[in-house]
Amino acid sequence: MSTTDDSFSVPQDPINMPCPGLKERWWHIMDTWKVGIIPLPLFLLAGVLIAIDCLGGKLPADIVVMVATLAFFGFACGEFGKRLPVVGKLGAAAICATFIPSAMVYYGLLPDVVVESTTKFYKSTNILYLYICCIIVGSIMSMNRTVLIQGFLRIFFPMLCGEIVGMIVGMGVGLALGMEPFQIFFFIILPIIAGGVGEGAIPLSIGYATLLHMDQGVALGRVLPMVMLGGLTAIIISGCLNQLGKRYPHLTGEGQLMPNRANADTTSSQPVVSGKTDVTAIASGALLAVLLYMIGMLGHKLIGLPAPVGMLFIAVLVKLCNGASPRLLEGSQVVYRFFQTSVTYPILFAVGVAITPWQELVNAFTISNLLVIVSTVSALVATGFFVGKKIGMHPIDVAIVSCCQSGQGGTGDVAILTAGNRMSLMPFAQIATRIGGAINVSVSLLILGNFFV
């Protein structure tokens, strides 16, 4: 007979157990019924308050009201995407959080005051850059130093191979469909790998306007839909890669590019969130991210390097030189996790409302365009997968970074990494988007100006 305490416990009669009171039931609803991260009662309250403001004809664009507004709509769209059958597991949450708001704006389903306030808030605050800098700095500070060095040194080779193969495959498919080579490369393939909208599509449209003697608005109208469709394809592929990683765990590092053997001797240097992180450490971690971004802005003024990239390099330098204490590293990691879980879908909603033109996306939905775009992005990602595996990296994580080569800049990186559940890869995604895109645009415009005009 067992002599443990469990053998002497007296089971309670479920019939005579006390029923939970009203207070306990209310707490149960608050803690278990949620839309995204928002308890259902608070979600409903936010909806009522927003509706009252909308009926009054004015929704303030200040940060207090916008936090509630973006959270309400962003998590609603994200939750809808998560609950879709089949595609809910393939990145539909990020797609819905971005493109449902865009469609609602176009079809007039979103109140004008919400559209106006969201657009004003997004464009006046540059909140996307606050999000990106906290994600980049937090993810870098939580990385192992050895993995960080090896990852940055090795990631460029799969990226380069992916772009070359993607261009070749895209050109081949386009030629097979009877499209003109000039049109295929400069107006479909190049916009896909140009680095997004601000760093890719707009500089391309300016270059085309100068070199091809066309109106910049016309050039942008032809380029922008390809950027968006390429980003949409990358989001879907990233979601599929995430599911592939769940089925074949040996192919993924769950956000780490290098295998565990690379950091077996330095695991102790990793900051681990204890759950008791001091509030001042969290505040210091957030301030560190902001200050590093300000240094990146200064670098942009001096040498023209994009501020997120400059910030990325400075953050890596701080990490490699042990410039941040373990307490500060832990604070940065908490900030990173907060933004990852709480700010992603609100940011994607704002992006969908403010800078995602639905009609241009729809206009680009032709069979020939789609075939070229899907084949280009698929070949780019597949090449990253196999090359990454060949050189000893986690192939799924490398492939998700490769997806970011065809994303919509910083916003595309957020959506792609959210769909792939690999937000810790943001530093490498920024390299793929910013540096890779800048090189592609510069070299291609140089070739266009010297050989085709």
Mean per-residue pLDDT of the chain:
84
Please report which helix (H) or strand (E) contains residue 26, including its range.
helix 22-32
What are the pLDDT digits (tens) for 387-397?
A: 999 998 999 99
Percentage of residues of the chain with pLDDT beyond 90: 40
Residue with more model confidence, 130 or 410: 130
- Quote the crossing angle between the two packed helices 92-106 and 216-247, to the nearest 10°: 150
Rounded (10°) angle between helices 216-247 and 395-403: 160
What's the pLDDT at 13?
52
Compute the distance between CA of residue 220 and CA of residue 209 in angstroms, rounded to an integer: 9
Q: Taking the model in full, what pTM does it have?
A: 0.75
List, for residues 296-336, the tens digit of each pLDDT value.
899 888 887 778 778 888 888 898 888 889 899 999 989 98
pLDDT band at 154 (very low <50, low <70, confident <90, very high): confident
Residue 273 has pLDDT above 60, yes or no: no
What six digits make up the tokens of 104? Answer: 């609602």
Q: Which residue bears the tokens 């409302």? A: 353
- How far apart are alpha carbons 371 and 413 in whole angstroms? 23
* Mean pLDDT on 164-177: 95
Rounded Cα–Cα distance for residues 300 and 312 (Å): 13
* pLDDT greater than 80 at residue 190: yes
Rounded distance between C-alpha atoms, residue 357 and residue 421, angstroms: 26
Token readout for 180 is 């003109």
Q: Is-contact 158 384, C-beta < 8 A?
A: yes
Return the pLDDT at 2.
44
Query: What is the C-alpha to C-alpha distance for residues 121 and 69, in angstroms, rounded to an integer?
Result: 11
SS3 (DSSP) at 249: helix
Grade residue 4 by pLDDT with cuts at 50, 70 and 90: very low
- The C-alpha atoms of residue 153 and residue 45 are separated, in whole angstroms, by 50
Q: Write out pLDDT tens, residues 200-218.
A: 776 787 788 888 887 766 7
